[in-house]
Structure 1
Amino acid sequence: MSQNSYDKPSKVLGLVIVDGVGFKNFVLSDFLNQATGGFDRIIIYSGLPASAFDVETNVSLEIVELTVFIESRTAWFWRKMKEVAHLQQHKKNFFGIAANLDKNRPKEISKRAKLISLIFKITSICNSEKWIDFYNKRQINAISKNPVHSGYKKMLSDHNCDLLFFTHQRPPYLAVLDDAAKKLGIKTCSFIFSWDNLPSKGRMAAPFDSFLVWSDLMKEELHYFYPETKNKPVKVVGTPQFEPYVMNQYHSTKKEFSERFNIKQNLKTICYSCGDISTSQNDGLYIETIATSILYKEIPEVNLIVRTSPAENGSRFSEIKEKFPFIIWNFPQWELTREDHPEPWSQRVPFGQDVKDLRSLLEFCDLNINMCSTMSLDFMIFDKPVINPVFGNAENRIYNDQKYLQYAHYERVVKSGAVSIVKNKKELIESIKFSLENPQARIDQQRALLKLQIGKPLEGTSYRIVQALKEIS
């Protein structure tokens, strides 16, 4: 069967896209192309402005902007109870969850801080799945009284959806949509958004009816953290996050890459990919360390490209940019579509050209350096060596990024041997020289890690997702 060949479609799919990353994964991949062949109609329920979608709408594809949900104090309280209880339940066995719990502790004096302190006291004892279910029911009771809930319910009813597919499982307002769907008898399904969401993040927004996951590993994690999912459909499909890397429209030649980034073609190229400042505060330190090493010829002369985080505008690197004019900067082409929003970072949406730029960096750079991010996987897909610098710890007054080595999802990467972990300048320089001279040294470990984490081939990812959704609906 060809990937666009289906039995006669007879369903309406509601597709919930909450942010720019979801847009990249499900609009700039092959998903919409496959979904329009598998369903009669697709209604995109968007947390982004409709103007962000450069797609042709017609009788089979409609875009509906979601009304922004403003949470009541009561709904907030019960949601917070549910989320903190989940963290309390798993803090002993998962460092990332314990760190996440600590972030939630009140660090000020206010009425809300006192409420959070109360929540911590209660959930330190009452944090079983039965208690979490109790908190969830109270939260649902509170949000069902919000006018947005009735609005969502009418919207879903008018569109006669058969399945509501959430491309993310964490934003709190998804609980409103999920409950509105359940009250109408509409099935719900959620995609597990990222490889760290289960072992390192907080509670899911809602008890969805079914799930799509990257891999068998993620399926095991889902069953561990959410035991009730053992009795629900869970499909292993891979992830559309990486599918553009095998799509012809995003391919570039090496000549195009060299011209776009002004590359010296006789030199090898290092790409440093940044995180955002909330988790990757030492990016400037690492960029400056690499650049200085190039200046003083401690490493061979290379092209150095820095790709900043799509969640930021790159302004925090202005001094480094001025100090080292030979650095080539790639500021991701993500447009801020809405400024007056509770979470403006979520409103940044990528252009297709940025996906093309990223793919060319992955294919034609010789080495990637990043601080323990998903970009490690991106570069491994193209068989490129990866270095993770983590200079900071609790003792040396540098932001403690060594803690991320203990997060469950990245601890697995470290133990796999697929990346080089460096904890000071000397180790970084040595690892750069070794990796440039021996790019295939960790290739077997990298491929084994990709198979474990992604689970399925990149080719046909969207087709598998649509087939899974058809089976669920």
Structure 2
Amino acid sequence: MPSTSSNYSSEIVGLVIVDGVGFKNFILSNFLYHAKTLNQKIIIFSGLPATAYNLIKYDKIEIIELPVFFESRKTWFWRKMKEVAHMQQHKKDFFGIAANLEKNKPIDKSRRAKLISLIFMITRVFNSEKWIHFYNRRQLIYARKNQVYSKYYKFLLDSKVKTLFFTHQRPPYLAVLKEAANELGIKTCSFIFSWDNLPSKGRMAAPFDSFLVWSELMKKELKYFYPDTKNKVVKVVGTPQFEPYVMTEYKASQKDFFEKFKLKSNLKTICYSCGDVSTSKNDGLYIETIAEAMVEKDIPMVNLVVRTSPAEDGSRFRKIQERYPFIIWNFPEWKITRYNHPEVWSQRIPLKEDIRNLRSLLEYCNLNINMCSTMSLDFMIFDKPVINPVFGNDKNGLYNDQKYLKYAHYERVVKSGAVAIVRNKEELVKSINSSLENPEARLKEQRKLLKLQIGKPIEGTSLRIAQALKDLS
């Protein structure tokens, strides 16, 4: 770890942590160390309970637990107007946005469904940036009447923060916190959370004052989807989600990896990494297809490790566990910090041991298979071949996961040639064999894609972010 500087500034920086992934990216990386070195004090405004931060050992770090914001009906209506209008504006040119817009359509005849139908009708015509800003102002008029707004305002007032850094740009309640910061004259900066958030999702929570992005590509996307950002500071810093992969505290030896996962050291290892059930419904089919190919000796005997999504408990795979006892299962060690929350999944945080396990899988497995997830990038960082199975389409009765190939962020991956796309069992088996025999076949394309998507070296990411915030203040 770099040596500590004694030249502290007088700045107090606010750090907004939304969920367990943000906790992983900004608390379990080197970010706090560097932010603390460059500033007098760090105040964490947390969407997680304060008890989640017991592991923090730095002094001069304060935790403020944010009360949960429950929207009124009017606040919800205008927020929904803003979000749907954004998707209406871009649906013709971006398949992912069009698909997410389709998900928002009402499916019953409830009162809320009727309101959503009205929202669709209005925003089909009135969806320009001017109208979106109008909807945002109306949303905030009603949000300010909520008693939680007064609490957010007082927290910020008492904290004396100079800059408020949002580690995510999407959760709706962030608009309320940002509005309180505006009223107090506090500068706001947001990190674009994920590589698919701009070309595939709805409107971000608020028009922040400045932005930190992964790459020049993401900077270009930000200015396209949010024209107002052309006059704002947007800095390319990379992303901290990959930084644990270069931190010594998360590294384990190959021997420890084989012993912990009970693997046979004379065999190659395949890792199948699952998505969550809402977007990766065919995971079970792909796992069984690989396992059957092993039984039938269509692929060589290997160690098959399945890592499930941190967002679920893995219960949907129980029958597969019983049918194929040779599969090694890795259930992510993410503990739920509280249950009485409208989005319980957001309250899961990873243990450090889980990050060590994940890094070991990335470093020592010979091949990764996943359905079009960000894990493709994780494994590419370690120069490992990646296969994306997408058997489902509109005609064969399976969940249509081939649609994700048309999402802008993943269409770029497909066109890069950095991954093998397989659409049936035969293609999957053939690709597994060829990837195990020639693991570097796509290495050049993988490294080119990583440079495009991440934009900056993984080493030093947290320091770049901390320095960018310092410069902005």
TM-score range with shorter-chain normalisation? over 0.9
Find the counterpart in structure 2 of residue 339 from structure 1.
Answer: 339
For the 8 Å contact 1:3–1:34, the answer to whether it is kept is: no
Secondary structure of the 1:164 match is strand
Q: Which amino acid aligns with 1:299?
A: I
Q: How does 1:197-276 map to 2 (within 5 A)?
A: 197-276=197-276
- 2-structure distance, mates of 1:4, 1:420: 45
Q: How does 1:98-137 map to 2 (within 5 A)?
A: 98-137=98-137
Among all aligned residue pairs of Structure 1 and Structure 2, give the percentage whose two residues are the same amino acid.
70
Find the counterpart in structure 1 of residue 286 from structure 2.
Answer: 286
Cα distance per residue 1:102-134 (max 9 Å; x no partner): 000001001111100000000000000000000
- 2-structure distance, mates of 1:269, 1:307: 13
Find the counterpart in structure 2 of residue 419 from structure 1.
Answer: 419
1:231 Cα deviation after fit: 0.6
Q: How does 1:160-179 map to 2 (within 5 A)?
A: 160-179=160-179
1:384 Cα deviation after fit: 0.1
For the 8 Å contact 1:214–1:454, the answer to whether it is kept is: yes
Q: Are positions 1:381 and 2:381 aligned together?
A: yes
For the 8 Å contact 1:192–1:211, the answer to whether it is kept is: yes
- 1-structure distance, mates of 2:421, 2:442: 13
Q: Which amino acid aligns with 1:259?
A: E
- 2-structure distance, mates of 1:327, 1:58: 41
1:55 Cα deviation after fit: 3.1
For the 8 Å contact 1:337–1:349, the answer to whether it is kept is: yes
Q: Which amino acid aligns with 1:27?
A: I
For the 8 Å contact 2:8–2:37, the answer to whether it is kept is: no
Find the counterpart in structure 1 of residue 189 from structure 2.
Answer: 189
Mean Cα deviation higher: 139-148 or 385-394: 139-148
Question: Which consecutive unaligned segments of at least 5 residues does structure 2 have?
Answer: none
Find the counterpart in structure 2 of residue 49 from structure 1.
Answer: 49
1:319 Cα deviation after fit: 0.4
Find the counterpart in structure 1 of residue 148 from structure 2.
Answer: 148
- 2-structure distance, mates of 1:288, 1:304: 11
Cα distance per residue 1:36-76 (max 9 Å; x no partner): 10111111111111111133467610111101101011100
Q: Which amino acid aligns with 1:284?
A: G
- 1-structure distance, mates of 2:177, 2:89: 26
Secondary structure of the 1:241 match is helix
Cα distance change, pair 7–233 in 1 and its aligned pair in 2 (3 A) = farther
Cα distance per residue 1:290-340 (max 9 Å; x no partner): 000001100011000000000001111000001000000000000011111
For the 8 Å contact 1:6–1:38, the answer to whether it is kept is: no
Find the counterpart in structure 1 of residue 180 from structure 2.
Answer: 180
Q: Which amino acid aligns with 1:31?
A: F
Cα distance change, pair 187–396 in 1 and its aligned pair in 2 (3 A) = same
1:137 Cα deviation after fit: 0.5
Aligned-residue Cα RMSD (Å) equals 1.0
For the 8 Å contact 1:3–1:463, the answer to whether it is kept is: no
Cα distance per residue 1:255-291 (max 9 Å; x no partner): 0000000110100000000000000000000000000
> Which TM-score applies when normalising by structure 1?
0.99
Find the counterpart in structure 1 of residue 447 from structure 2.
Answer: 447
- 1-structure distance, mates of 2:267, 2:6: 48
Cα distance change, pair 395–152 in 1 and its aligned pair in 2 (3 A) = same
Q: Which runs of 4+ in 1 moved over 6 A?
A: none
For the 8 Å contact 1:3–1:460, the answer to whether it is kept is: no
Q: Which amino acid aligns with 1:288?
A: E
For the 8 Å contact 1:385–1:440, the answer to whether it is kept is: yes
Secondary structure of the 1:411 match is helix
- 2-structure distance, mates of 1:104, 1:343: 18
- 2-structure distance, mates of 1:379, 1:275: 15
Q: Are positions 1:81 and 2:81 aligned together?
A: yes
Q: Which amino acid aligns with 2:348?
A: R
1:5 Cα deviation after fit: 4.3
- 2-structure distance, mates of 1:109, 1:337: 36
- 2-structure distance, mates of 1:107, 1:423: 30
For the 8 Å contact 1:94–1:199, the answer to whether it is kept is: yes
Cα distance per residue 1:191-222 (max 9 Å; x no partner): 00000000000100011101000000000000
Find the counterpart in structure 2 of residue 309 from structure 1.
Answer: 309
Secondary structure of the 1:242 match is helix
- 1-structure distance, mates of 2:111, 2:312: 32
Q: Which amino acid aligns with 2:337?
A: T
Secondary structure of the 1:206 match is coil
Find the counterpart in structure 2 of residue 468 from structure 1.
Answer: 468
- 2-structure distance, mates of 1:6, 1:92: 54
Q: Which amino acid aligns with 2:121?
A: K
For the 8 Å contact 1:393–1:399, the answer to whether it is kept is: yes
For the 8 Å contact 1:57–1:63, the answer to whether it is kept is: no
1:7 Cα deviation after fit: 5.2
Secondary structure of the 2:418 match is coil
Q: Which amino acid aligns with 1:212?
A: L
1:8 Cα deviation after fit: 3.6
- 1-structure distance, mates of 2:340, 2:298: 47
For the 8 Å contact 2:418–2:449, the answer to whether it is kept is: yes
1:153 Cα deviation after fit: 0.5
- 1-structure distance, mates of 2:454, 2:428: 28
1:364 Cα deviation after fit: 0.2
- 1-structure distance, mates of 2:11, 2:3: 18
Secondary structure of the 1:301 match is coil
Secondary structure of the 1:120 match is helix
Q: Are positions 1:436 and 2:436 aligned together?
A: yes
Mean Cα deviation higher: 145-154 or 385-394: 145-154
Q: Which amino acid aligns with 2:283?
A: D
**Aligned residue pair count:** 472
- 1-structure distance, mates of 2:3, 2:419: 35
- 2-structure distance, mates of 1:54, 1:290: 41
1:20 Cα deviation after fit: 0.3
- 2-structure distance, mates of 1:103, 1:373: 19
